[in-house]
Amino acid sequence: MNHSSIEGSMFIHSNISSGPPVQTSIINRFLEPDHGDNREKLNIVYIKSHKTGGTTVSSILNRFGYKRNLSFAMNSNKNWNGHLRELPLTRESPKDVLLPSLDGGDDWMNYRYNIMDIHVRYNRNVMDMLMMGGTKYIALLRDPVYQLESAFDFFGLAWEIRSLRKKPNAFQLFMTNPDKHMRWASKARRIDLRNNQFHMLGLENKFFNDVPYIKTRVEELDREFDLVMILEHFDESLLLLKKLMNWEFEDILYIKKNQRLARSNINEDISKKVRKWNAADDILYKYFEEKLLARIQEYGASFNSDLIEFQRMNEIVFDRCTGGDATKQHNNKIFEYNTKEDTDTYCNSFVYSFKDWVNIIWESQHLDDPTVES
């Protein structure tokens, strides 16, 4: 696809002030997606774990689904980001927890969703009941060493854990005795600090040290998931997602989200301690990284040329839409790119934050615009 074909597609030809991206006409969201190998697949569950690059993937799915008038499963009571996190997902969640689906009418029993891409723990039995037929299940993992360091910084654990306050190199100090320091953290943060990636995929804390069970569960997840992506091979993972879903290159283009401004130095000693502390995540990550590399080999002869073309198209979008200008957010810990002046809704759709997309999706699914909670 050349430069002009990128500019001539998707959400274009309206001014930036005109609001959300233009949607196509409403399609039948109850339609089974697998009516032939060449038909794009619409239904997907993405298990979004913390600090793994997940917001970037969610922005891709939100852009894809909104353009096609698809229904998103989001928390209707958490009006600033739509996440469920530790809130149990049940068959009755559409009644009082999830947004109404677009074609469900007034009866919550009829609600079925096309896309789920929020923080929510994996529960296959319930998710299968809530999602449309033919739904694909995907996840994204990150090297546990860097995932934990990122979570520690992003969630402000150096301040929340009193034993670490005002201490230099707080993360390194935490890893000298994580059991001791974690007692000062809140329950929510303790979940974020220990094997959080596997936790979001359903592993209970009591199994964190049970290596045989962990390995068995990893193999089960391999059979249950259609694709487990790896952040350290992000573009390659997105090519596999494109192939899985029969999408176009344009559907997987992205501008990075929630990038951090600074990172802690991690030496080999700290790395070993993290892998031991988060052994379940480490086993999970290494297994699926090996699987991903094998799938790349199975992709076919066009993989390298497809990757080059995908990255070329991404550079065009970045240059056209942002110019590299960014805004600091979340207590100046992260930044997100701004759109250029006088741009159009095509660029907006790439630069929208996750909160922007929550607002747009809430409005499209017939709820009032959410207000950001303090």
For 19-78, the pLDDT digits (tens) are 455 554 333 334 444 455 688 999 999 999 888 888 899 999 999 999 999 999 988 875
For 222-281, the pLDDT digits (tens) are 999 999 999 999 999 999 999 999 999 999 999 887 666 566 778 999 999 999 999 999
CA distance 300 to 308: 14
Tokens representing 261 are 């401004």
CA distance 137 to 139: 7
Contact 38, 126 (CB under 8 A): no
pLDDT band at 12 (very low <50, low <70, confident <90, very high): very low
CA distance 278 to 149: 12
Q: Which domains does the chain have, with CATH numbers?
A: 41-306+353-364 (3.40.50)
Contact 336, 40 (CB under 8 A): no
Could you give the 3-state DSSP secondary structure of residue 336? strand
203/15: higher pLDDT: 203
Question: ∠ CA(116), CA(189), CA(212), 5° rounding?
Answer: 75
How far is C-alpha 2 from the geometric centre of its chain's CA atoms? 28
Q: Rg for the chain (alpha carbons), in Å?
A: 21
Q: Name 166's Cβ contacts closer than 8 Å, sequence gap at least 6.
A: none
Tokens representing 244 are 């899985």
